[in-house]
Amino acid sequence: MCLKRLLALAAGLMLTAAPVLAQEAPLQVALTMDDLPVHGPLPPGLTRAEVARRVLAAFKAAGVPEVYGFVNAKGLDEGDDAAQVLTLWRQAGYPLGNHVYAHDDLHGHDVAAFTAAVTADEVALKHYMGDADWHWLRFPYLHIGETPEKRRVVAAFLKDHGYRVAEVTLSFNDYLYNAPYARCMAKGDQAAVAQLRQNYLDRAAESLTIGRQQARTLYGRDVPHVMLLHIGAFETVMLPELLSLMKAQGATFVPLAQAEADPIYAPNPDAPSDGTGGLLDREMASRHLTPSAHSPDPSPWLDTVCR
């Protein structure tokens, strides 16, 4: 074989191999859903139970093996329709965890009041979970404590009571879309709903990109992620599209415990922090690293939609 042909063959092999060498590690994501059984306003004709049915159907259709639903038990005061949400969740084979009784904010309460609210939530969890383990806690507002002293006391309480903290690495504030969606549906404004859908998907895609960038900046590698979602009416529309988007980006869905087995999730209440934000955001701030660029906050625009 002549030299010219050998060189051409070698060049072709290098071009073929390059995409493999540059390929990203698989994106593993544990999906979690907050504020069960009641979150946000409903559009006309939709019930809490129907929201749960549609959300669960979307997860099942996408082959999601587990979605922890984090419970504010005070929502059960809304009656049978709210209670049915938790029943449906368990019938689907998905677990429930503690999101504190009335979505109580640790940053607005002393430790004693906060831990009492954690305990108050357990009555419902024991009822619906039976012998299954419910000892995962998601801090409302992702507020883990304003000071190291407060974080240490709460961390000790949670450890003594068998809890693990359900951290978050992926979030795009999906809850912001529920109120404008309900308003738009009440007005029958499908053009505005289409705008909401596109903005939601754009921000979801951005969240995936930023989460991976932050992990590589902090740890030099991809990590298993935990995504925060909320059980709102707009999720009944958007979940199929969101899950398809994630799969198109190579995501596989894993249980929460599997994701949080990674060492990055080991609790460290002494890390420099004001106790706000997701795990990667807090870690970036504690290391004085430049925050990743985000698109503008959609809240001002969303507040005007369908007014």
Can you list the residues of the chain whose pLDDT is less than 70? 1-24
DSSP-assigned beta bridge partners for residue 127: none
Q: State residue 24's pLDDT score.
A: 63
Phi-psi region of 147 (alpha: psi -120 to 50; beta: other; left: phi over 0): beta
Contacts 24+ apart (CB under 8 A), 14-20: none
Q: State residue 10's pLDDT score.
A: 39
**pTM confidence score:** 0.91
Burial of 243 (0-12, 13-18, 19+ CB in 10 A): buried
Q: State residue 81's pLDDT score.
A: 96
Q: State residue 274's pLDDT score.
A: 93
* Cβ(253)–Cβ(65) below 8 Å: yes
Give Cα separations from 80 to 48, 49, 70, 170, 269 (angstroms): 10, 9, 18, 32, 39
Looking from the CA of 157 toward its CB, the CA atoms found within 13 Å total 17
* Cβ(71)–Cβ(121) below 8 Å: yes
Task: Tell me the C-alpha distance between 207 and 298, whole Å.
Answer: 14
Q: State residue 291's pLDDT score.
A: 86
Q: State residue 4's pLDDT score.
A: 42
Q: State residue 304's pLDDT score.
A: 98
Q: State residue 5's pLDDT score.
A: 43
DSSP-assigned beta bridge partners for residue 71: 36, 98
